[in-house]
Amino acid sequence: MKKAISISWTLTPIDFATVSPGFMANARLNLGWPTNITVAALTNVYVDLYINGSDLQGLSGAAAGPPPVIIESGNITYANSTHNNYNSTGPQPPGSEYWHTLNNQRPGSSTRGDFTNWGMVPNRTDVYGYWNITIPILLPGGTPGGQYGGDVVATAVDAGTSPM
């Protein structure tokens, strides 16, 4: 049997609105609060899900530089939710979430996905994630204002396989 993996991800974009330096904010409702990775019906193996991302680079205003200001990906965290258990107020069940730091690279070997319930995911399954950000104070005057943007990538691999 030939293996098939198909996912889709509602992720355009994760929007944190305006956040002042030194503060944290959740993503806006339905713009990262939550996101949804769907393991499609065409998938015929169990999959592990992984996420990685790039640092946020200044795109406009003073943040655009020169040189552009960077907010490290480590200032971005995300939590998981149990399969098919969506709640717009946050991860479910409440208080049981684990916040995971976004990294620029995937793990070097399989760890059953970023979270336990992101491993061995069957087809026809929705996997929700919730995002927040902490804006660092880079200079005594604060982080330059403007818009920032970067990339977040999801990878699905055959369960137990390295996500390389």
pLDDT digits (tens, 9 = 90+) for 93-111: 677 778 889 988 877 666 7
| Across 15-24, 97-106, 125-134, 139-148, least confident range | 139-148
What HEC string does the chain produce?
CCCCCCEEEECCCCCCCCCCCCCEEECEECEEECEEEEECCCCCCCEEEEEEECCEEECCHHHHCCCCCEECHHHEEEEECCCCCCCCCCCCCCCCCCEEECCCCCCCCCCCCCCHHHCCECCCEEEEEEEEEECCCCCCCCCCCCCEECCEEEEEEECCCCCC
The answer to whether the predicted template modeling score (pTM) of the entire model surpasses 0.75 is yes
pLDDT at 83 over 90: no
Residue 164: predicted pLDDT: 74
| Average pLDDT of every residue of the chain | 86
CATH, domain range 7-158:
2.60.40
pLDDT at 59 over 80: yes
